[in-house]
Amino acid sequence: MSLSASLGIPREVEEELTRDPIARKILITIFKMGTVKPRIGLETGIRYPPFEDLPNWRSVIEKLIKLKLVDRSVADRLVHCPRCGSIHVSSRLLCPWCKSFNIEPTYIIQHTLCGYIDTESKFRDPNTGQLICPKCKRPLRKEGLDYVVIGKVFECLNCKRKSNKPMIVFYCRNCSHQFDYLNTVYEPVYEYSLTPLGQKVVTSGALHKQDIIEALEELGLQVEAPGKEKGRSGIDHTFDILARTPQGRVLAIDFAEEKDPSLAITSRVPKALDTGVDRYIIILPSNAFEASMLVQMKNVIVLDLTEPYLVERIKAIAKELLKKETKEVEVTAEAPPELSEEQFFGEIGAFEEKEPALSENEMLLLAEEEEEKKEGEEGERKKEKKEGEKKELLADEFFGG
Ligand SMILES: [Zn+2]
Ligand SMILES: [Zn+2]
Ligand SMILES: [Zn+2]
């Protein structure tokens, strides 16, 4: 019976997502970004900024992995301090004999003229910085000509011994603990992406459907999901969500899963033409703005699935339909109750010209006006001021309410 089931989305997944708004936000965030990668800083640790505002996101993401909606893969591995867990860890090279970290890399040089071998520091004159053979006292001229570099060693400045294999250990900058590689905690760092099922859950609209239905019902619309509307051709057209106002105006919503936005639009517009729904919202997985350029009809609105205030946008469109109704009630109270079809369509046509479909900014403004009404203030001056400010309206403000 449920639409999600017919899309191959398991029932338990659907129920879980209906219950958990954080899970829905995580899925939409990953969908938007493709892959959520860790941001690694020695002092800041391992962070996932897109998730940081979502409470308990780590446990929720574990749940989404179990539900096979999210995939995690190893993006890196990091050395953690076994004592405090910090990743602010440096490598140290120690003298294998006295364990001092105060060792210095140096070259081993052979003076080919006399055969003497020693470290570079023994050849270097402390006053002039020139290379001079400690045995025969002749200056060294050119590598390959009168001397050769035969290797690299570490010279301990503490015990003066040399080694070509220093000990490698780690030092925690957070708690000053020094540890070797056998005692290190070497943990994977993950990045997150959606599984094909996760992709499907997002693009099918399953994450938004419940919120949208509830919002429309709250406004007093009668909602079916999916809903059928008979076209003038006699064909029954199915929409993902179909909402009717008390006076029978129709708001239809479809979630388009096509990757190609123009295909998504052109295959759906005939439904709107045939049924004559008052508002038809097509929700695309991405590129809604570009796709909206393809639409010539004022009553067809293209929205982006990932926009943060999608439900508010749809509410604003529904409110605008209801607003027309209150106006019409006032008029028809004195007008004859029955209009001929011609009059009816003529009137709607005239109406449409006066009030075209709302642009994005207008819709934001509409929602703001509603808020102003609640405050009981409708002063024109305030409205003008608000209009000047509306471009600065943050998505967060909108969503947060
Ligand atoms: Zn530590
Ligand atoms: Zn020499
Ligand atoms: Zn030493």
The amino acid occupying position 147 is Y
Q: How far is the CA of 43 from the centre of ligand 1 (A)?
A: 12
Q: What tens digit of pLDDT does each residue of 90-127 get? A: 999 999 999 999 999 999 999 999 999 999 989 999 89
Q: Which amino acid is at 386?
A: K
**CB-side exposure of 294: number of CA atoms within 13 Å?**
18
Residue 293 has pLDDT above 80, yes or no: yes
Say what the pLDDT of residue 5 is.
45
pTM: 0.66
Least confident of 59-68, 227-236, 358-367: 358-367
Q: How far is the CA of 172 from the centre of ligand 1 (A)?
A: 5
pLDDT at 322 over 70: yes
Task: Note whether 65 and 72 are within 8 A (CB).
Answer: yes
CA angle 367, 370, 372 (to 5 degrees): 115
Please state, as a whole number, how many other Cβ atoms lie within 10 Å of the Cβ of residue 47: 12
pLDDT tens-digit map of 158-173: 999 999 999 999 999 9
DSSP 127: T
Q: Which ligand is nearest to the CA of 82?
A: 1
Instruction: Write down the pLDDT at residue 391.
Output: 43
Architecture of domain 3-83+185-195: Orthogonal Bundle (1.10)
Q: Reply yes or no on whether the pLDDT at 305 is more than 90.
A: no
205-358: CATH topology is Trna Endonuclease; Chain: A, domain 1 (3.40.1350)
Residue reference for tokens 């749809």: 314
Q: Is the pLDDT of residue 20 over 60?
A: yes
Residue boundaries of the structural domains of the chain: 3-83+185-195, 96-165, 205-358
- Both tokens assigned to 11: 């029932």
pLDDT at 347 over 60: no
Between the CA of 286 and the centroid of ligand 2 the distance, in Å, is 75
Sign for the pseudo-dihedral over CA of 258, 262, 355, 239: negative
Q: How far is the CA of 174 from the centre of ligand 3 (A)?
A: 26
Average pLDDT, the chain: 83
More confident residue, 395 or 26: 26
Buried-exposed string 130-159: b where 16+ CB fall within 10 A, e elsewhere: ebbbeeeeeebeeeeebbeeeeebbbbeee
Beta-carbon contacts of residue 233 (< 8 Å; ≥ 6 apart):
274
- What does the pLDDT look like over 179-219, one tens digit per residue? 999 999 999 999 999 999 999 888 888 888 888 999 999 99
Q: Report CA(88)–ligand 1 centroid distance (Å).
A: 8
The beta-carbon contacts of 16-21 under 8 Å, at least 24 apart in sequence, are: 16/63, 16/67, 17/201, 17/206, 17/207, 18/210, 20/60, 20/63
pLDDT bracket for residue 366 (50, 70, 90)? low
Is residue 145 over pLDDT 80? yes
Three-state secondary structure call for residue 126? coil
Q: Taking 70 as the threshold, does the pLDDT of residue 339 lie above it?
A: no
**Percent of all residues in the chain with a pLDDT value above 70, rounded to a whole number:** 79
Do residues 123 and 157 make contact, with C-beta atoms less than 8 angstroms apart? no
Q: Which residue has the higher pLDDT, 158 or 8?
A: 158
Residue 364's pLDDT band (cuts 50, 70, 90): low
Give the pLDDT of residue 397: 43
What pLDDT is attached to residue 37?
A: 97
Alpha carbon of 47 to ligand 1 centroid (Å): 18
Mean pLDDT of 346-352: 42
Cβ count within 10 A of residue 346:
12
φ, ψ for residue 77 (rounded to 5)? -135, 140
Between residues 331 and 295, the one the model is more confident about: 295
Residue 15's pLDDT is 81
Q: Which ligand is nearest to the CA of 104?
A: 3
Structure tokens at 344: 């009816």
**pLDDT for position 166:** 95
pLDDT of residue 394: 46
Of all ligands present, the nearest one to the C-alpha of 156 is: 3
Which ligand approaches the C-alpha of residue 115 most closely?
2
Cis peptide, bond prior to residue 38, ω within 30 of zero: no
pLDDT at residue 388, rounded to an integer: 45
Considering every ligand atom shown, identify the ligand nearest to the alpha carbon of residue 172 and give its number.
1
